[in-house]
Amino acid sequence: MTPSEPCFRGRRLRNTVGLRDMVREIRLERQDLVQPYFVVEDDPEARREIASMPGQFQLGREALLRELEQPVRQGLRAIVLFGVPEHKDEQASGASHPRGVIQEAVQRIKRAYPELMVITDVCLCEYTSHGHCGLVENGLVQNDPTLDRLADTALSHVQAGADMVAPSDMMDGRVAAIRSRLDAHGFVQEPILSYAVKYASAFYGPFRDAAQSAPEFGDRRTYQMDPGNKREALREARADVAEGADMLMVKPAQPYLDVLQALRERLDCPLAAYQVSGEYSMLKASERMGWLDGTQVALESLTGIKRAGADIILSYYTTELLPLL
Ligand code: PBG
């Protein structure tokens, strides 16, 4: 007797009760996901929905503590924090202030939820008056002078209790600068998640509304990566590993799954992917129009990102999907 067509084998597995789930290769789990939050400084009780990101809020530090209650109960493992300070200046002084918006929020969150992993985004763009990720002189972002400010900022975050710092500025040499600053102060255990492969992307649009961090002049193409480049991603990634990054991130996620897969195949460190604001907004907008099943496309997108090689995924969908995982 000849065996039946091979295609029937897959079908038999899918159609047998329970077997489909048992043989599934990629399973999205709660511990894969990290929820981003925007913390505002002006009003501790603020809870302002972000117009272009339905379901996401700018939260004051007290409002955030309350907001976390339910997701933590539902199994939320990790969050990443972005600060929206009241005052901005040329030096981004708010970024590293011991009583700055992030430092205060981290202290409170770790006191209330010691088991929740708190990651902090380390960048200057939310704190500079011009909105660039580094210090600016004569209209140009200055790489080396920025490193010191980033290291100050990262140190202030771990001093406040952050479990991991995530530099997203894309200055060259910042992982090494942050690592040596943390080590010098005895924070040898705190890992660095480097946004190693961050493209100059139009998908960050809604985030810049949420974080009030759109650059006042020019754009970020001098320090963020060209969407046409993939080999460069490997160079950036290897450089950050050599500088001491514990984990690397690719961002955005969905338009760059090939890059994520290439890194997965060539590197052996853990990888993160950021499903960014624009990716979220697109799906939410379609859901609102009744054009797509929001929950299903969210699960499918995140499964795809994991399948391409992400160990953890930063996603605005995290808290919404927790009860389903
Ligand atoms: C800060 C930063 C940005 C994002 C994360 N960190 C914005 C940017 O580089 O312009 C984008 C995240 C998102 O779009 O959800 N540099």
Summarised one tens digit per residue, pLDDT across range 72-114 is 999 999 999 999 999 999 999 999 999 999 999 999 999 999 9
User: What are 65-79's pLDDT values in tens digits?
Assistant: 999 999 999 999 999
Q: How are beta strands 57-59 and 47-49 bridged, if at all?
A: antiparallel
Q: Ligand 1 atom closest to Cα of 207? A: 14
Distance from the alpha carbon of residue 204 to the mean position of ligand 1, in angstroms: 6
Per-residue pLDDT at 1 exceeds 60 = no
Task: Assign domain 26-324 one CATH number from 1.10.3720.10, 3.40.120.10, 3.20.20.70, 3.40.710.10.
Answer: 3.20.20.70
Check: CB of residue 182 under 8 Å from CB of residue 190.
Answer: yes
Phi, psi angle pair for 113, to nearest 5°: -135, 75
Task: List, in sequence order, every residue forming a beta bridge with 33; answer none if it has no partner.
Answer: 313
Evaluate if residue 271 carries a pLDDT over 70: yes
Centre of ligand 1 from the C-alpha of residue 199, in Å:
10
Largest Cα–Cα separation, the chain: 80
The predicted pLDDT at position 72 comes to 98
Predicted local confidence at residue 7, as pLDDT: 66
Q: Are 95 and 127 in contact (CB under 8 A)?
A: yes
CB-ligand 1 contact for 168 (6 Å cutoff): yes
- What residue segments make up the domains of the chain, in order of their start? 26-324
CA of 21 to the centre of ligand 1 (A): 36
Model confidence over 11-57: pLDDT tens digits? Answer: 888 888 888 888 889 999 999 999 999 999 999 999 999 999 999 99
Only one residue has tokens 């890059």, namely: 259
pTM confidence score: 0.94
Best residue among 50, 141, 168, 216 to mutate for probing ligand 1, ranked by most atoms within 8 Å of CB: 168
Closest CA to 39 of 29, 27, 48: 48
SS (H, E, C) 225-244: ECCCCCHHHHHHHHHHHHHC
CA distance 31 to 275: 16
Mean pLDDT of the chain: 94
CA 312 to chain centre: 10
Angle between helices 257-266 and 231-243 (to 10 degrees): 50
Helix (H, G, I), strand (E, B) or coil at 310: coil
**Active-site amino acid positions:** 198, 251
According to DSSP, residue 165 is labeled E
